[in-house]
Amino acid sequence: MEKIKVIGAGLAGCEAAWQIAEAGIKVELYDMKPRKYSPAHKSPFLCELVCSNSLKSNETTSASGLLKEELRKLNSLVVGCADKCRIPAGGALAVDREKFSMMVTDKIKSHKNISFIEKEVRKIDLDGNIKIIATGPLTSEPLAEHISEICGGSLSFFDAAAPIVTAESIDMDNAFFASRYDKGNGEDYLNCPMDRDEYEAFYSYLINAERAPIKDFDVLAPKVYEGCMPVEVLALRGKDALRYGPMKPVGLKDPKTEKRPYAVVQLRRENLIGNLYNMVGFQTNLKFKEQKTVFGLIPALKNAEFVRFGVMHRNTFIDSPRILDEVYSMKNNSSIFFAGQITGTEGYMESVSSGIVAGVNAVRKARGVSSVIFPKETMIGALASYISDKSIKNFQPMGANFGIIPDFPEKIRDKRLKKEMMAERALKLIDKVINDENNS
């Protein structure tokens, strides 16, 4: 049987390669790292988390929790490794990022059916052999140009990453451990409270601080992935926008004052040993020296040592509804699959989701059997259906959410109950897909 090429060993590419290899088919997996790095990738290991180390909620009544549970049922390599590298983060699944990437790399590189090739792919051979393109939102320029040619155009815009500080540089007299509403074990988040005067001084510096030059950023700002909106752009929505966003104080009480703070910056543990913390929701494109000054106005961070400042990057995706079908293969060339953020499935787990669907279906294509289309009532199927929905004209990337899953015929008023029912239905349908596959 022919080898399948997977290009890009990020979240989607590693997952796709694993699924193919586990099905007994040989894979050639390409990545340009460590010879060449995108502006956001820094680690020589595969499946790198370029920004947050949180894979979001683990509860099945949340969209991302449901997606993860579906992926677990399908033996996802990435979710399996994430579960093993988990660090405390309340109801979320956060991981020690280095341990996680190392574990995935080890599994991939030691699999007997996977050959890993360190190379920048600059062009896709349209030779009829099966390929999966999973080069992500920061696909290198020559390949991005070629993809644009074969897809009739691709888009670029910008995303942002948050700063990371050392634990020992945080002023603990002005910080306290607590999870909102006392969820989690109480040590997952380190909170940096601010009173009104401190917040106002911080706010007025922030909105006037100098940004790093990114051409046309203001024009492109509305297109920035909402979950990665730079804090200075969010602040421009109004004086209290941050207090309703990343700096919201609800569910927290400062043990020093016994009161809810006026505003709070939350820091989340970045690694298992807890010597690094990232600033939750503080993605930014400010100049580095401005970041040091403005974040230094947060009392707990007045002497903070930044091991990484926030940065902004290009983000590329194709116009999937015109190009892909619901198994992520090209409508006009079913040997070419796409997977990951480049398809517009936005987010780490969403990238894994498209990696699994593309991988499983690349195997079926190689065996000459019909595709498996995941039901729209599952989160995996709903994402696949969304990105291939021709009725969507101005396509923008989509993350997991219950709004893309078809409703029940009857009206269910209780929102929590409805999500529980949707999750139950979705997980049963995933079991059915697995049973059908085993019995075929």
Handedness of CA 300, 301, 302, 307 (dihedral sign): positive
Alpha helix stretches (DSSP H) within 283-341 = 288-295, 320-323
Q: What are phi and psi of 256, to 5 degrees?
A: -70, -40
Distance CA 132, CA 142 (A): 17
Residues 9-28 that bind ligand FAD (CB under 6 A): 9-13
C-beta separation of 297 from 242 below 8 A: no
Query: Which of the ranges 48-56, 181-189, 208-216, 401-409 carries the binding residues for ligand FAD, by CB under 6 A?
Result: 48-56
Tokens found for residue 229: 């909106």
Least gap, CB of 314 to ligand FAD (angstroms): 7
| Rounded Cα gap, residues 343 and 397, in angstroms | 8
313 binds ligand FAD (CB under 6 A): yes
The residue number with the shortest CB distance to ligand FAD is: 10
- Residues in contact with ligand FAD, counted by CB under 6 A, come to a total of 38
**Does 374 sit near ligand FAD (CB under 6 A)?**
no
Minimal distance, residue 171 CB to ligand FAD, in Å: 26
Q: Pairing between strand 176-177 and 189-194? A: antiparallel
CB of 343 to ligand FAD, least distance (A): 8
What minimum distance in Å lies between the beta carbon of 159 and ligand FAD? 4
Cβ within 8 Å of residue 184, ≥6 positions away: 88, 89, 90, 91
The answer to the question of residue 45 lying near ligand FAD (CB under 6 A) is: no
- Residue nearer to ligand FAD on the CB measure, 33 or 86: 33
For residues 259 and 33, the answer to whether their CB atoms sit within 8 Å is no
* 282 lies in the binding site for ligand FAD (CB under 6 A): no
- In whole angstroms, how close is the CB of 421 to ligand FAD at the nearest point? 26
Window contacting ligand FAD (CB under 6 A); options: 4-12, 175-183, 206-214, 319-327: 4-12
Under the criterion CB under 6 A, does residue 33 sit at the interface with ligand FAD?
A: yes
Residues 189-228 that bind ligand FAD (CB under 6 A): 228
* Residue of 282, 289, 276 whose CA lies nearest to 310: 282
Q: What are the structure tokens assigned to 204, written together?
A: 């007025």
Q: How far is the CB of 323 from ligand FAD (least distance, A)?
A: 16
β-bridge partners, 156? 316
Q: Cα(336)–Cα(358) distance, rounded to whole angstroms?
A: 10
Applying the rule CB under 6 A, the residues between 336 and 365 that interact with ligand FAD are 340-342, 347-348, 351
Q: Residue 43 or residue 293: which is nearer to ligand FAD going by CB?
A: 43
Task: Please tell me the distance from the alpha carbon of residue 50 to that of residue 341, in angstroms, as a whole number.
Answer: 13
Beta bridge partners of 315: 157
- Shortest Cβ distance from residue 408 to ligand FAD (Å)? 28
Site for ligand FAD in 156-195 (CB under 6 A): 159, 161
Find out whether 308 and 314 touch, Cβ atoms under 8 Å: no
CB 5 within 8 A of CB 30: yes
Interface positions, 102-141, toward ligand FAD (CB under 6 A): 120-121, 134-140
Candidates 49-57, 203-211, 245-253, 258-266; binding stretch for ligand FAD (CB under 6 A): 49-57
Using CB under 6 A, pick the residue from 17, 20, 40, 298 that binds ligand FAD. 40
Nearest to 10 by CA among 144, 125, 101: 101
Regarding 143 and contact with ligand FAD (CB under 6 A), the answer is yes
State both tokens at 196.
């009104």
| Footprint on this chain of ligand FAD (rule: CB under 6 A) | 7-13, 30-33, 38, 40-41, 50-52, 120-121, 134-140, 143, 159, 161, 228, 313, 315, 340-342, 347-348, 351
